[in-house]
């Protein structure tokens, strides 16, 4: 482990079967919200956010049928990948902020990156993507609300950043991602999700993109039903599956 990434891992204090139970109840909530929204049940997928939880928890989730996992800290993720290398069915998503000095590890080890927010990392991720792997699936993180201090591409830069991703041979532009500040009201959260969907629809109408973007990465434990109502396709859910994270 590097000195910068030497993060403690949460310890589980209750039984693993609760992970399977949680997956089942979240899946039921997703199905209900998807049906209520009049959407196809296969159009919404669950990304299990396993950051800070040990590899054994991921193994329990895989045994319960979950295959896509989201991690936010590169070294922690690589350690878990090594521990779980016998489970070839896992699809790894990088959902954390992307530091320039971590792009190589992300390009070499993940299938998806959800937090693309600036030009500098776009070229690096593509040139560092190994030739034997399919293109890295990319979502551009958008900074939608002004009061939101989170990272993300500005609305002004978004069209140009999308073009930049599109121009890279080893990246595949899949969609947009938003991480709204959790303090917002339900109405404001919903407005952010709707705006992300509208931005994507607009980009999809440009001749170069022409409908290629098929992914909206939005919705977490507290708000995924709202996100489904506004068109989410990847739900990034941690707490509702693995429990409350200690503040690490
Ligand atoms: C931690 C994290 C999540 C999961 O949040 P929960 O509230 O635990 O479901 C989703 N997205 C990102 C980018 C995260 O960092």
Q: What is the 3-state secondary structure (H, E, C) of 189-207?
A: HHHHHHHHHHHHHHHHCCC
pLDDT in the model for residue 107: 98
pLDDT at 70: 98
Mutate to test the pocket of ligand 1, among 23, 50, 69, 72 (most ligand atoms within 8 A of CB): 72
The values of phi and psi at residue 61, to 5°, are -70, -40
CA of 166 to the centre of ligand 1 (A): 27
Q: Alpha-carbon dihedral of residues 194, 117, 10, 111, nearest 10 degrees?
A: 90
Task: Examine the pLDDT at 19 and tell me if it is beyond 90.
Answer: yes
Least Cα distance to 61 among 40, 78, 84 occurs for 84
Mean pLDDT of 7-31: 83
pTM of this structure: 0.93
Q: In this predicted structure, what is the pLDDT of residue 148?
A: 58
220 Cα: distance to centroid of ligand 1 (angstroms): 6
Q: What is the pLDDT of residues 124-162, one digit of tens each?
A: 999 999 999 999 999 999 998 765 556 899 999 999 999
Calpha distance 103→89 (Å, rounded): 23
How far out from the chain centre does Cα 208 lie? 24
Pocket of ligand 1 (CB under 6 A): 49, 51, 72, 95, 179, 220-222, 236-240
What pLDDT score was predicted for residue 149?
A: 55
pLDDT at site 184: 87
Residue 4 scores a pLDDT above 60:
no
Residue of 238, 241, 242, 246 best suited for mutating to test ligand 1, as the one with most atoms within 8 Å of CB? 238
Q: What's the rounded Cα separation, in Å, for the pair 56 and 9? A: 11
Q: Tell me the β-bridge partners of 227.
A: none
Cα angle, residue 62 at apex, residues 219 and 75 outer, rounded to 5°? 70
Cα-based distances in Å from 9 to 51, 59, 151, 196, 237: 8, 15, 24, 33, 18
The atom number, within ligand 1, closest to the CA of 242 reads 8
Answer with the residue of higher pLDDT: 73 or 145: 73
Alpha carbon of 123 to those of 87, 107, 200: distances in Å?
A: 30, 11, 22
- The pLDDT of residue 10: 74
Expressed in angstroms and rounded, the spacing between residue 51 Cα and the centre of ligand 1 is 9
When the pLDDT of each residue in the chain is averaged and rounded to a whole number, the result is 93
Q: How many residues does the chain have?
A: 248
Query: Ligand 1: which of 48, 71, 95, 242 to mutate, most ligand atoms within 8 Å of CB?
Result: 95
pLDDT (0 to 100) of residue 3: 46
Comparing CA positions, the residue from 154, 115, 160 lying closest to residue 136 is 115
The alpha carbon of 207 and the centre of ligand 1 are apart by a number of angstroms equal to 33
Report residue 2's pLDDT band, with 50, 70 and 90 as the boundaries: very low
- Band of pLDDT at residue 57, cut at 50, 70 and 90: very high
Q: What are phi and psi of 215, to 5 degrees?
A: -130, 130
- Residue-wise pLDDT for 196-229, tens only, equals 999 999 999 999 999 999 999 999 999 999 999 9
């Amino acid at each position: 482990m590097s000195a910068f990434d030497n993060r403690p891992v949460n310890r589980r204090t209750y039984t693993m079967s609760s992970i399977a139970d949680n997956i089942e109840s979240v899946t039921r909530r997703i199905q209900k919200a998807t049906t209520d929204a009049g959407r196809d049940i296969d159009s919404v997928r669950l990304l299990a956010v396993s950051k800070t939880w040990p590899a054994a928890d991921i193994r329990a989730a895989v045994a319960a049928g979950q295959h896509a996992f989201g991690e936010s800290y590169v070294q922690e993720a690589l350690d878990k990948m090594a521990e779980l290398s016998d489970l070839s069915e896992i699809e790894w998503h990088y959902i954390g902020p992307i530091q320039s000095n971590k792009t190589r590890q992300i390009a070499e080890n993940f299938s998806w990156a959800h937090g693309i927010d600036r030009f500098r990392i776009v070229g690096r991720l593509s040139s560092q993507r190994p030739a034997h792997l399919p293109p890295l699936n990319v979502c551009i993180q958008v900074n939608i609300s002004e009061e939101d201090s989170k990272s993300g591409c500005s609305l002004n830069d978004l069209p140009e950043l999308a073009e930049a991703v599109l121009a890279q041979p080893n990246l595949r532009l899949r969609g947009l991602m938003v991480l709204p500040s959790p303090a917002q009201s339900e109405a404001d959260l919903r407005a952010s999700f709707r705006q992300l969907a509208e931005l994507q629809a607009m980009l999809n109408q440009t001749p170069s993109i022409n409908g290629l973007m098929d992914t909206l990465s939005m919705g977490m434990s507290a708000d995924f039903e709202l996100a489904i109502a506004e068109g989410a396709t990847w739900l990034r859910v941690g707490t509702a599956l693995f429990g409350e994270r200690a503040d690490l």
